[in-house]
Amino acid sequence: MVLKRFGVSVPEDLLEEFDMIVEERGYVGRSEAIRDAMRAYISQSEWEAEGQKLMATLNIVYTHKPRLMEALVKAQHHSEANVISTVHVHVSQSHCLEVITLTGSKESITQFANKISGISGIEYVRLFAFSLPDDATIVPSHTH
């Protein structure tokens, strides 16, 4: 990897706020924090432009109920988005966290997230979407 240096002019208050975040998160310096911010910005831009290799995780918190669990499984089996994996965590006596990893088009991933959000009993949904670099190979998985 070849590193390039460049200069950036920013308002002093913005730099001070950025430096506080760099310190809080334990970055060695500004450079790695700026690289992380650039990667996130590029990935978000590619997601918005519907890049070719889109992936996402859908994080869900809900109250454990058998019918809700059935609805989650049914939604996964009937989704146009490709469900790569699910991780189910019991976070309390009554609540579960589920993380669903997906690939697909922006439309299919968004439709799946919206479907899950509409299931009765779902309390929290957060979609983390990103685009893989052009040279990345998505590992094939089971589809229905």
> Mean pLDDT across the stretch 74-80?
94
Does position 100 have pLDDT exceeding 90, yes or no? yes
**What's the predicted TM-score (pTM) here?**
0.69
Residue 88 token pair: 């189910």
Q: Does domain 54-131 have CATH number 1.10.1060.10?
A: no
Q: Give residue 105's pLDDT.
A: 87
106 — pLDDT class (breaks 50, 70, 90)? confident
DSSP symbol at 140: P
Q: Give residue 40's pLDDT.
A: 81
Does position 46 have pLDDT exceeding 80, yes or no? no
Query: Average per-residue pLDDT in the chain?
Result: 87
Question: Distance between CA 95 and CA 73 in Å, rounded?
Answer: 17
For the chain, the farthest-separated pair of C-alpha atoms sits apart, in whole angstroms, at 56
